[in-house]
């Protein structure tokens, strides 16, 4: 499970990524959780090695949640699918939030993730239904972190290679699986 949260919560300054890193690290390292876990001898090494561990594992189910705030309103966009860490490709079905009246007026968006591009179907914005749109993620100002890459598990895992000030928080349960939870900072 990969969870993304973007925005700039108070008190974090530019460190909103710390939330992402801790959640991704928890999900990544959870596969090897022992029955009676002992704190890892090198928490920073465990988090920094998460991207390599995912490549060795091959593929994974992926869940994403991106929270945005605009004009005093918070919305959460959720998606589920799978990701191949060796080929760096994936697919997600992204569900937009209901409108203010509670009616679901949006079709799910299908996203295909590839290195350097994001393909979207049913994205709205005047694009005909079932028409694929290609977004060149290498041309985005944010380097594919927020605008187009908010759902890219590979990009999120790569950010963990630069994690600093990593501490082991303990064991938590995600989607019914016990995983190790880490907290740290990745300066982008």
2 within some domain: no
Taking the whole predicted model, whether its pTM rises above 0.75 is answered as: no
* Number of domains the chain is built from: 1
153 within 8 A of 2, measured Cβ to Cβ: yes
5 within some domain: no
How do residues 100-151 score in pLDDT, each as one tens digit?
A: 656 666 788 898 988 878 888 887 777 787 889 888 877 776 554 544 445 5
How do residues 142-172 score in pLDDT, each as one tens digit?
A: 554 544 445 577 878 888 899 999 999 999 9
55 within some domain: yes
* Residue-range definition of the domain harbouring residue 136: 17-185
Q: Which two tokens stand for residue 184?
A: 């740290």
| Listed residue (126, 116, 60) closest to 92, CA to CA | 60
């Amino acid at each position: 499970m990969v969870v993304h949260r973007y925005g700039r919560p108070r008190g974090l300054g530019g460190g909103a990524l710390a939330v992402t890193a801790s959640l991704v690290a928890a999900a990544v390292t959870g596969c090897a959780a022992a029955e009676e876990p002992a704190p890892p001898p090198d928490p920073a090494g465990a988090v920094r090695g998460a991207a390599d561990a995912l490549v060795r594992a091959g593929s994974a189910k992926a869940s994403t949640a991106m929270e945005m705030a605009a004009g005093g309103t918070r919305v959460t966009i959720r998606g589920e699918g799978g990701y191949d860490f060796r080929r760096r490709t994936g697919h997600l079905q992204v569900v937009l939030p209901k409108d203010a009246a509670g009616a679901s007026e949006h079709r799910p968006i299908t996203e295909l993730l590839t290195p350097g591009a994001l393909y979207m179907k049913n994205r709205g914005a005047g694009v005909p239904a079932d028409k694929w749109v290609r977004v060149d993620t290498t041309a985005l100002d944010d380097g594919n972190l927020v605008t187009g890459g908010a759902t890219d598990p590979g990009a999120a895992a790569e950010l963990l290679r630069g994690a600093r000030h990593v501490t082991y928080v303990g064991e938590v349960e995600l989607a019914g699986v016990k995983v190790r939870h880490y907290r740290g900072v990745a300066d982008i």
